[in-house]
Chain A
Amino acid sequence: MNPDDQSEYDRLMDADRRTEARLIWSEIVSLVFVAGLVAAYAMYFPA
């Protein structure tokens, strides 16, 4: 394995770890957004 190959491998691993780490934030953003919509609806139309 030459140094270029090794650096490409490390670059891929870093990029992919970042992508996977972003997932949890995407999930939180989605949940908070929907929870906000539900809360807003509940405020306008209380049961």
Chain B
Amino acid sequence: MNFLRKKLDDLKRPFGKGQKWERYAPAVNAFDTFLFVPNHTTHSGAHIRDAVDLKRTMVTVIIALLPVLIYGIYNTGYQYLIQIGEAFTFWDAFIHGALKIIPMIVVSYVVGLTIEFIFAVYRGHEVNEGYLVTGLLIPMIMPVDIPLWMVAISVAFAVLIAKEAFGGTGMNILNPALTARAFAFFAYPTYMSGNKVWVSEASNIEGISGETILGTLAAGGNINYGFLEMFQGSIPGSIAETSALFVLIGAAILIITGVGSWRIMLGSILGAGFVGYLFNLWGANALMSFSWVNHLVVGGFAFGVVFMATDPVSAAQTNKGKWVYGILVGMFCILIRVFNPAYPEGVMLAILLMNVFAPTIDHYVIQGNINRRKKRWASAFKTV
């Protein structure tokens, strides 16, 4: 360890203060700090600090994403091979999925991190770890056959327009990963919706149907999946959205470690369940009479509310606000699904919409606190 440390210190020398390449230091530090927690000591304020830092927090999210990702890779292969009709093993399916998905992850990280590094050097701050999560989320919510160059352009759009234009990590209004998906959705609709994109190779091979459950319902069709299949996730869909079971494992990791807000997750489930139940009572069409319980396990709802709605930067920031935000995300998700057959998947737009309104929700929560204080001042003034 000491040998490695010395080597690193030697390598970093030209990037030191007052040295030739000082301005590129953030790029080098980003790699160094992945090996070692730096030797920086406190200089003002509290003399001791908690072991937690942003890197640890973001890595926790990635760990929570891994079960979903691994299942998503397997399911990608499974959906393809089951329709081909040949016998296959777990590894056949997994390798088929991995060959599709790993290049997308690589493209997402390379493009996104390059932009992040450039901005860090340009602005003279360290590279924030937020993109480690965003960069993994983006491929996970794309259809499997989307061309890699579209992934690259979506990533570039999301990082530049949704994040850096607002001032970088911590400043963005919209969730960057969902912005990437929304960009792809509106820029390349034929690759992002319809009945040919949700199963690997469905657009190339005759006879493979690549329709999602929500798409089938929106088209007025019947579905032949049971609740358990939908819950487990062996259904067509974006790469990582299908398995409510594995999303729940991720949710458990996020909640136990305190990294993800349980208020937002629970609020969303309550909101979606309530609206879904009301529609069940109404029951005017296939989507309305689709059981509210099933609404919670199909499509991107579970993945969206656990991993995207809880993004602390774009969500509401106050505890009360988180409840309101979560409930509204859930309600809008089902509303969009049911009322707008052009967008059978409502969770993306519901979260983006509520991202925009999150500051407003917080504003009213905080205004409540301010009003309470001012009222106290006024009553104290009266008694004097």
A, B bound: no
Binding site for B on A (CB under 8 A): none
Binding site for A on B (CB under 8 A): none
